[in-house]
Structure 1
């Protein structure tokens, strides 16, 4: 277990999930583990195919986004403005298989990097909702908005 992973008895809980996870270094470790797994594990081949050959830019963007999303520095917004997460992902076909691969990869990264089970559960719940919302295909057919 890493130092700072568990709040000591009698101390205040972290003010934000960013503090709870362990700050910038812990967010970077989570993002790096996520992309390392995506790059190495055959189970995430479809997800990997949606990304550029070099993952450096993707790593940075997810890191910058998650820092702000977790309540830390707003690195992504400072660089690019509002995340417009779904709009930024519309060019990519994201169906059930891609959603499930993304969630499985993130679940594995969280299991490897997030030591607090309560935080891990909260992150997984939030990621599952967001990943489902990002879907723009169903059964291989582009979704059509009403």
Structure 2
């Protein structure tokens, strides 16, 4: 088994480039979701405006990546699965979320090694969020 190299930064938040890069990532993610027809099912789960979701994802990702705990300071524990239960999340929505986030990471220039690690973590979380079989 291959040993994992030590990350070049103490946290993924620092590695990604801090607040400005997390904001750019979240903004590109939601811009893509709004613009690209192949993310239509994902976009449909978000209602008419993306501003609240955009802000909450920025707050959440900042803390999840090891930066400021904006989300938990405002709302407490994320309880992601519970908070997403009102929305239909199946394989299609999961896969569109993952593809959209991966595209956004590529477009804002997330380091390739970090991008691969985040893809794995995002998949685990997104798959756990599914609440319908398909």
TM more than 0.5: yes
Choose which of 9, 32, 40 in structure 2 pairs with 1:37: 32
Q: Unaligned regions of 5+ residues in structure 1, if any?
A: 1-11, 140-146
Give the TM-score, by structure 2 length.
0.92
2:126 counterpart residue number: 131
Give the TM-score, by structure 1 length.
0.85
Question: What root-mean-square deviation, in Å, do the aligned CA atoms of Structure 1 and Structure 2 show?
Answer: 1.1
* CA offsets 1:94-133 (integer angstroms, 9 cap, x no match): 0011111111111100111133110010111100111000
2:4 counterpart residue number: none
1:116 counterpart residue number: 111
Whole-angstrom distance in 1 between the partners of 2:59 and 2:116: 22
Alignment of 1:63 with 2:58, yes or no, is: yes
1:114/1:120 contact within 8 Å kept: no
Number of residue pairs matched by the alignment:
128
1:15-94 correspondence to structure 2 within 5 Å? 15-94=10-89
More helix per residue: 2
* CA offsets 1:35-92 (integer angstroms, 9 cap, x no match): 0000000000110010021111110000000000000000000010000000000111
Structure 1 stretches of 4+ moved >4 Å: none
